[in-house]
Structure 1
Amino acid sequence: MPVTTSNLLPPELMAQLQRLELVTRKVFRGRMKGERRSKRKGQSVEFADFRNYVPGDDLRRLDWNLYARLDKLILKLFLEEEDLHFFTLIDDSLSMGFGDPSKLEYAKQLAAALGFVGLVRSDRVVIERIGQSLRERGPVLRGRKSVWRMLEWLDGVQPADDAPTLAEGVRRFCLRNSGQGVVVLISDLMDKEGYEAAIRYLVARRVDVYVIQVLSREEIDPDIQGDLRLVDCEDGDFAEVTASAPLLKRYKQTLDAFTSGAQQFCAKRGVAYLLADNQTPVADLMSGYMRSRGLVR
């Protein structure tokens, strides 16, 4: 039964997102006409400029009125509108199930918001998750009519206990999707094998890459004390600790080093990086941080 309402995209959020538009820092040739002003000249109805005719040009674009006055062959140039290929890749590993709301739930709402902006502008939107097999594809969406299909798919995404490493999940994504455009990876980047290889895979694709690292408020500012047994939700590894003030200070220093390292790693490779916590309203993230980072306008 199709989804008719979803907590991921309440009406008030949709109303705020209507005015936004996805942006790419690179120029790609779209497959279909969209609502985006291209830097290339094309065949739309909005006039852009003139230029002299050269052999091989489309004769239908000649300005015959100018020819009658100037005895010169002049072409009319028009602004071309193009679609944007927009990919969102969600980390659905078990660590993303932590927090209230969970990091995964926050990532899904963020993916829904970005996808909605793309669909409203007739962009080609693809949403996938890290845990997909090589042959399993996410929905390919276009137009407002696809909003509920997108939400239905996102509502079904849950933490996967068999999710591969981040690098393997991104590698599979790259093999499944060969198109150019914008790729947004939403992940906590918490993988014992590291996040570096995953980001390198995306950079090698020559796409416009954005990494949104989502952490829970409990991870950023843990409220714990006393003797604790900490268990890794993904592999069952554990550690027994005493949560003292010096330990919490050292933990926060380590976390700061981790997020700063991710930001620097991305910056050196031309990847836009954003750190978000699960308590920041998605509407604020979209209209504030993402606008300043250049993903939306």
Structure 2
Amino acid sequence: MRVPTAIAVTSADLVLPAPDRHTPGAALLHPPDQLDLDSALAETAALLERHGHLVALVPPWLPRATVQRLHTVRAILETDRMALLGIDLPPLGTALLARQLRQLSVCDFSPGVIASAARLLSHYVYAGALLGSVAKLDRVRVPVGLGAHARSWSPGAQFSVLAHPTPHLARLGSSGGAHSGTQAVPAGPGFATQLTFARGQLGSDWVTAELAPAWQVQGVMENPLPAASPGWWGTSKLVEFAAGIPDLSVLYQLVASVRRERCHWCGLELIGDRCGFCAAPLTAPPPTSTARSRP
């Protein structure tokens, strides 16, 4: 029986419940404050021994020590079977992407295709939050000047923010609508999605009462808030949300429709323009030669 490629995250709260009994769980790579280096090496080596290949999501908001630990483990093990994928999504969006990769891991895709599929699937993740403050929101490029406007907004205001794929910011009124003619609900996906949300210290039903119907989602699931979310959004007064494709058959067709190539460096299959395991670009750079031509 084929053992699926392991999909790994660095925190247990980034593991969303499996949508069906066929979807495997995620592997957990513990950070340095929870596991010493020798134990981390043994943990990763055991995963590689069992699964053959390991795909780990490494978002830029991870602590530097955690990222350094992952690269150290990979280097010491001298393995080309461990992919460290830099995916720039908010915490709940990262958890949703990890679940999609877990779903795909049981399909007949090679480890290289699964790893490079993460970049493709991330484009179809809609991630945002309802915030009680945007004064410290510095990770999202919204189409307004946050620094200039945040100080003038009254206390108690709420803001709908979409971080990915297209930044959006609107201040909500008391009725849930937006001020100054700005659309309160950001433009949603033009395909079927399921919405996952997580409550912080903000009491509001806007995500379920306004956003979900407007986006015509197929279902809504509540999940505990990831520990990294308040830091990412700059406030603990939030309700984070992420919408993505829930159907495995659709995910499969999406990935299978992309032309597969062979990495010129490590030899693994890939889709897109970069290998997920060795990070080599699809096209090899032209050779540089210092040899002189013969007369």
Please confirm whether the aligned pair reaches a TM-score higher than 0.5, indicating the same fold.
no
After TM superposition, the score normalised by the length of structure 1 is: 0.28
Q: Which structure shows the higher strand fraction? A: 1
Q: Which structure shows the higher helix fraction? A: 1
Rg larger in 1 or in 2? 1
